[in-house]
Copies of this chain bind each other. A is one copy, B any other.
Amino acid sequence: MSVQPVLISGQWLPSAGQETFQAVDPSTKQPLALRFPISPWAEIEAVIRHASEAAAIVRSWPGERFASFLEDYACRIETHAADLIAIAHRETGLPVEPRLKTAELPRTVNQLRQAAACARDGSWATATIDTKSNIRAQFGPIGPVVVFGPNNFPYAYNGIAGGDFASAVAAGNPVIAKGHSSHPGTTLRLAQLCHEAAQATGMPAGFVQLIYRTSHADGYKLVSHPLIGASGYTGARSTGLSLKDAADKGGKPFYCELSSVNPVFVLPGALQERLPAVVDEFVGSCLMGAGQFCTNPGLVVVSEGASSEQFISAVAARFDAAPVGTMLSGGVESNFRAGLVALQQAGATVVCGNKPADHHRYCYANTLLRVSGEDYLKKPHGLQSEAFGNASLVVVARDLAQMIAIAKTLEGNLTGGLYTDTQGSDDAAYHDLAPWIREKVGRLLNDKMPTGVAVVSSMNHGGPFPATGHPGFTAVGFPGSIHRFAMLQSYDNVRVHRLPPALRDKNPTGKQWRLIDGNWSQADVP
């Protein structure tokens, strides 16, 4: 069986690697036809060198060039949507409708176009001019970016098409994409389109490259290599921490999204006011995509009482009645089951589910667990174990004081939320509780479930460790996400004809926002 090629320096080449792997159809547990290579170090090193050469070629290119490439690529994805959807559905088991076709693929195309708009506009670079000292600064490309895509978003977080890819390119950086092993065919197809777009828009050979898999040790060498600028990683916590450690030692920024249980605190008034609606929203958010979202609500905190018992019963009934979604891979299923075991070992009891569902595909019953606030506080660490999938743990707190105590134990999360009534009866509790959640999460939600990450400038898809490695950056939303892949470049006394266009007196487009003597302006330097 032939092995699929890697994309190196603008060419589809056979990998020098001897080892190969195949993806598996999670709906049938059967291996898929295509075979993909594991790249050896010499090959990875060549990829790095080519990326570095590409970085040197494009470093003074105007944003327009990157914008054209991203937009051309977005069009190609739309043109070949049917093909991409068929492949991704087979490799991930994610539903075609609405997930792949109506939600994720359009979102991916939208991200590429938003990144393109930012690259063209240039305002993301925060051009800063101090006229008195004649010192001028802007953000510029950081150097080749390695992107490790996760299993759960075959397009929107794909190493060769997703948000990290788009933001790295918008900043003017070559990308080395590391495909996820569970959907290599989708990644290959995207990379073909990406490569065509790069050729059509005149990008240099090493600007976009693709490998599928490396040894762990080679991954560490890759992210810490002196010629690498930074890396983006979305995936399992243990792998991410090992890569982060290597990158940190090499002094290379490593943006990682590792894990999150996304606590939702449901205050008593909300349940009294609209229990069925809250149940609806929670069940929908928790079971969507078999719960395989970074922002899945895995921890729900309620207050002791009849309403909360009704909430738990209603959710359990809905969980039992709902179809059981297919999981992305055997690894996801086994990690999910291990997560459920860890939660039980820490003191949680099963309300419903926690059993095999269908042996012909990767899946496990929709599962609800519960624990008292008192027991939670005995083992807050163990009870924040992530069971990535269609499960959630309800903590039944004695009172508001205990809810606050629980909030104080939270690890860093991507999101945290509070449900409150609309008439003000929860206002005092919100006031006392919300600040403790606020400091532990990147995005604070109110009366809204955390799944669904809008690609807007005000989004923060990030949060304190261990949700990510740095609480100051977002992986979603423009221009914010671009800043991860930029270095600050100050120019001191540099003669005007040697300055980048955005730092000269004349506004290069008449529209770029620049910080001139402390004020944001689209005008020329006066």
Interface segment out of the listed A66-74, A383-391, A440-448: A440-448
Are A474 and B488 in contact, with the CB atoms below 8 A?
A: yes
A129 contacts which chain B residues (CB < 8 A)? Answer: 458
Given A251-B469, A465-B250, CB of A456 within 8 Å of CB of B133: yes
In whole angstroms, how far apart are the Cα atoms of A53 and B245 in the complex? 31
A520, CB-defined interface residue at 8 Å = yes
A359, CB-defined interface residue at 8 Å = no
Q: How far is the CB of A63 from chain B (nearest CB, A)?
A: 15
A465 contacts which chain B residues (CB < 8 A)? Answer: 250-252
In whole angstroms, how far apart are the Cα atoms of A445 and B143 in the complex? 21
Are B462 and A488 in contact, with the CB atoms below 8 A?
A: yes
In whole angstroms, how far apart are the Cα atoms of A252 and B412 in the complex? 11
Among residues of B, the one whose C-beta sits closest to the C-beta of A252 is B465
Are B438 and A489 in contact, with the CB atoms below 8 A?
A: yes
In whole angstroms, how far apart are the Cα atoms of A429 and B137 in the complex? 23
Q: How far is the CB of A125 from chain B (nearest CB, A)?
A: 12
Are A472 and B142 in contact, with the CB atoms below 8 A?
A: yes
Are A486 and B466 in contact, with the CB atoms below 8 A?
A: no
Among residues of B, the one whose C-beta sits closest to the C-beta of A455 is B133
Among residues of B, the one whose C-beta sits closest to the C-beta of A499 is B446
In whole angstroms, how far apart are the Cα atoms of A493 and B445 in the complex? 6
A133, A135, A430 interface centre (most CB from chain B within 10 Å): A135
A253, CB-defined interface residue at 8 Å = yes
A360, CB-defined interface residue at 8 Å = no
A473, CB-defined interface residue at 8 Å = yes
Are A136 and B458 in contact, with the CB atoms below 8 A?
A: yes
A82, CB-defined interface residue at 8 Å = no
Near B by CB (< 8 A), chain A positions 106-149 give 128-130, 132-133, 135-137, 139-140, 142-143
A439, CB-defined interface residue at 8 Å = yes
Interface residues on A, range: 35 or more
Interface segment out of the listed A3-11, A32-40, A299-307, A511-519: A511-519
Near B by CB (< 8 A), chain A positions 225-273 give 244-245, 248-253
Given A142-B472, A456-B132, A486-B472, CB of A248 within 8 Å of CB of B251: no
In whole angstroms, how far apart are the Cα atoms of A464 and B252 in the complex? 9
Copies of this chain: 2
Among residues of B, the one whose C-beta sits closest to the C-beta of A453 is B492
Are A472 and B487 in contact, with the CB atoms below 8 A?
A: yes
A457 contacts which chain B residues (CB < 8 A)? Answer: 128, 130, 515, 517-518
Q: How far is the CB of A21 from chain B (nearest CB, A)?
A: 31
Are A445 and B139 in contact, with the CB atoms below 8 A?
A: no
A345, CB-defined interface residue at 8 Å = no
In whole angstroms, how far apart are the Cα atoms of A482 and B500 in the complex? 25
In whole angstroms, how far apart are the Cα atoms of A458 and B492 in the complex? 9
A459, CB-defined interface residue at 8 Å = yes
Are A458 and B252 in contact, with the CB atoms below 8 A?
A: no
Query: Which of B135, B139, B448, B460 meets A489, CB within 8 Å?
Result: B460
Among residues of B, the one whose C-beta sits closest to the C-beta of A467 is B251
Query: Which of B439, B444, B470 meets A494, CB within 8 Å?
Result: B444
- A460-502 CB mask vs B (1 if < 8 Å, else 0) is 1010111001111110000010011011111111110010000
Are B445 and A471 in contact, with the CB atoms below 8 A?
A: no
Given A59-B439, A457-B128, CB of A447 within 8 Å of CB of B493: yes
Are B128 and A444 in contact, with the CB atoms below 8 A?
A: no
A434, CB-defined interface residue at 8 Å = yes
Q: How far is the CB of A48 from chain B (nearest CB, A)?
A: 15
A435, CB-defined interface residue at 8 Å = yes
Among residues of B, the one whose C-beta sits closest to the C-beta of A492 is B445
List, sorted by A's number, 17 A–B pairs whose CB atoms are closer than 8 Å: A56-B435, A128-B480, A130-B456, A130-B458, A133-B458, A136-B458, A137-B458, A244-B248, A245-B248, A251-B412, A251-B464, A253-B471, A444-B490, A446-B498, A457-B515, A471-B487, A472-B484
Given contacts A59-B435, A445-B493, A471-B488, 20 further A-B contacts (CB under 8 A): A59-B439, A128-B480, A129-B458, A130-B454, A130-B457, A135-B458, A139-B472, A244-B248, A250-B465, A251-B464, A439-B487, A442-B488, A442-B489, A445-B494, A446-B492, A446-B493, A457-B517, A459-B490, A472-B487, A474-B490
